[in-house]
Structure 1
Amino acid sequence: MTGEPRTRVLVCDDQALVRAGYVTILSAQPDFEIVGEAADGVEAVRLVRLLRPDVVVMDIRMPRLDGIEATAQIAGPRATDRAKVLVVTTFNLDEYVFQALRAGASGFLLKDTPPGEVIAGIRTIAAGNALLAPEVTRRLIGRFGERIRDDDGAGKRVEKALAGLTDREVEVLKLIATGLSNAEIAANLFLGKETVKTYVSRLLAKLDLRDRVQAVVLAYRIGLVIPDA
């Protein structure tokens, strides 16, 4: 790893022992650099602006500012100093997953997740991918798809970007929103997996989206796809 850029990680959790555990595990990885620690969301937002980490490992329930709002300020559409967020929490509730993803998180893990999976998760998110299996996406959309839509005017702004997509890219976006993997999309459209991967990368770039999770939320938010009853 000598000479190669390392992933800069900020750890945010209100429990000092938990933070210390993450720091010990993650700092042992040659491709990670722990740039700071935060005990609440307010400190996390401040340190992101100051230290510019690549990934923030974020708890949800914290004093002063919880992880959901902190994630919105760090990774949401109005964030000025963005970082990717991996939410790691004790609470295995769909409601928290939904709120975290809508706020801008790129992934969601539980605190009892084995250390190796947390390490792999950070690498996955740092590489620009989402840390949610397609079946999890389907479950969330089934429960919360209708609530993703809102009237804050974002849909109008994004519709202009959508106009720049080709018909095939729109088709791929719709299939992403239903929770299909690249392989499943390829089979559905009779395309090669690499071709689908290219379409996905291209549409994410055109829509200024970080990953597939944001694409799913956007597609439902603007009504491109309507969830089943």
Structure 2
Amino acid sequence: MTSIPINKLTLSFIVMLIGIMSCSPSTQLTGSWKSPEATQKHYGKVIVAALTDNVRARQTVENDLQAQLAERGISATKSIDIFPPALMRDSGSNADGLLQKIQGDGYDAILTAALVDEETETRYVPGNQGYAPMRFGWYGSFRGYYANWAPTFYDPGYYREDKVYFLESNLYDAENDRLLWSAQSRSYNPGNLERFSRKFAELTVTTMREQDLID
């Protein structure tokens, strides 16, 4: 059988296509846990709380979680509208006071989101193109071989640092303070807060729906 020569443009396209197919979403669910008690009660009035002292991040994440829950008919309130940043800082670790306020306002569940860890990963980014064990038409001459491979030989690649963030979402029963559900997710290089927040909120609420925590 005659082999079909692959030109440089075709090879570049194949390498690009493989890269696209192998790319994973920047934000992924890595695990979850659900209490056996979670399906015994309907939760229709939820307060969402992003546990951070970064006001912009808190506002953005809570907005998106509220919007995702509202799309599913869940009445959701942002914690920042009830507990402003100054109050959260002053209350410190006094969770009892916060819980009493939540219970007094008639909420039946609390959905929290928090950044629990972050890491830096170093990975090698190859140069212009990689090697594939095939017959190349440009192997027939030195000039063709050199012209094809010189960019790779003299631009071998570089090392890149990726920021990896580990997040946790928890759902609590506001009446008895018990954990109903917990999910862990991982996000790579979330350079844009708004884009990351939308994806995180969608992933969180969709998973809650799939696991019968909300309608």
Greater strand proportion: 2
Whichever of the two has the greater Rg, that structure is 2
Query: RCO higher in 1 or 2 (8 Å CA, sep ≥ 6)?
Result: 2
Same fold (TM over 0.5): no
- Could you state the TM-score of these two structures normalised by the residue count of structure 1? 0.30
TM-score in terms of structure 2 length: 0.31
Q: Greater helix share, 1 or 2?
A: 1
